[in-house]
Amino acid sequence: MVALKRVKPHSDAITKKEGFSLVALREIRLLQMLNDKNIVKLLGVVTDHQSSRKQGTLGEVFLCLEYAMSDLNGLKALPDFKLTPAHVQCYMYQLPWSLRESRRHGDPGSPGHQARQYSDPAQQHAALSERRGVFLGETNYTGAIDVWSCGITMAYLLSDTALWPMNVPEAKANTVQMQWIWDLVGTDRWEGASKLPQYTQFRPARAVPTRGPTFTTPLWRRR
């Protein structure tokens, strides 16, 4: 048994090569190079030849992946399943090794690519899996992004729900999420923050002192 992930070849028209998404090409290339026991393996890439002939295009493309019975969201949704400290410890041991392998082969010009390639709920947490500097337009993607991603994942594992709600309108998502981050970890500026391209756009609405958060209750429910 395998898992099929449908790829949208034409989803990003601005960045495409010969009609195929460069983002998808980057994902396929990275997954082909990854070889780690903690990362789902890419077994192959298949296309729908029938739709391709009918439409005269590349047709639908699917990634053929190693099958996993459930993702993290699915496990946490089970009424009788409870993550124990041992589970969290195990996951947080595996994750840095996976990130290390991904970064070793990855594209340093792609922020947060590690989380996007093989973790769920990465689709909902993509923006939150990148440190504050990326929101502000930082282009020097260092290992700090990986550390931030691990921290967000650990907080998700230790709490009963996500740190932030996911039903924010797309047009306001980055601004709202950035303010939640300020509220959670504080607004003390780090060196060079005010010089980043998006600093004015995401300037905090109010000053919050730097603090060590607790995750007993999600931030958005503490308001």
The DSSP string of the chain is: -EEEEEE-TTS-TTSEETTEEHHHHHHHHHHHH---TTSPPEEEEEE-HHHHHHHTS---EEEEEE--S--HHHHHH-TT----HHHHHHHHHHHHHHHHHHHHHS-TTSTTHHHHHH-TTHHHHTGGGS-HHHHTT-----THHHHHHHHHHHHHHHSSS-SS-S---HHHHHHHHHHHHHHHH--PPPTTGGGSTTTTTT--SS---------SS-HHHH-
Give the residue, 112 or 1, on which the prediction is more confident: 1
Q: What is the pLDDT of residue 108?
A: 43
pLDDT per position as a tens digit, 77-117: 888 888 888 988 998 999 888 888 887 766 444 444 433 33
Please give the model's pTM, rounded to 2 decimal places: 0.64
Q: Is residue 95 domain-shared with residue 37, that is, in the same domain?
A: no
Q: Is residue 109 domain-shared with residue 55, that is, in the same domain?
A: no
Q: Is residue 188 domain-shared with residue 215, that is, in the same domain?
A: yes
Q: Is residue 146 domain-shared with residue 97, that is, in the same domain?
A: yes
Rounded average pLDDT over 185-206? 73
In whole angstroms, what is the distance from residue 204 CA to residue 187 CA? 7
In whole angstroms, what is the distance from residue 141 CA to residue 133 CA? 9
Which token pair is 93? 């041991």
Full residue range of the structural domain in which residue 205 is found: 72-222
- Which among 66, 95, 121 is the end of a domain? 66
Average pLDDT in the chain: 71
Q: Is residue 36 domain-shared with residue 121, that is, in the same domain?
A: no
Q: Is residue 134 domain-shared with residue 214, that is, in the same domain?
A: yes
- Domains of the chain: total: 2
CATH number of the domain enclosing 19: 3.30.200.20
Q: What is the pLDDT of residue 223?
A: 44
13: pLDDT strictly greater than 50:
no
Q: Is residue 91 domain-shared with residue 47, that is, in the same domain?
A: no
Give the residue, 79 or 23, on which the prediction is more confident: 79
The torsion angles phi and psi of 195, rounded to 5 degrees, stand at -90, -5
- Which among 49, 66, 83 is the end of a domain? 66
Q: Is residue 202 domain-shared with residue 125, that is, in the same domain?
A: yes
Which of the four pLDDT bands, split at 50, 70 and 90, describes residue 53?
low
- Which among 11, 33, 66 is the end of a domain? 66
Spatial neighbors of 88 by CB under 8 A, at least 6 apart, are 154, 157, 158
Q: Is residue 151 domain-shared with residue 48, that is, in the same domain?
A: no
Give the residue, 10 or 182, on which the prediction is more confident: 182
Q: Is residue 120 domain-shared with residue 144, that is, in the same domain?
A: yes
Q: What is the pLDDT of residue 126?
A: 38
Q: Is residue 28 domain-shared with residue 89, that is, in the same domain?
A: no
Q: What is the pLDDT of residue 112?
A: 40
Percent above pLDDT 90 for the chain: 6
Q: Is residue 6 domain-shared with residue 111, that is, in the same domain?
A: no
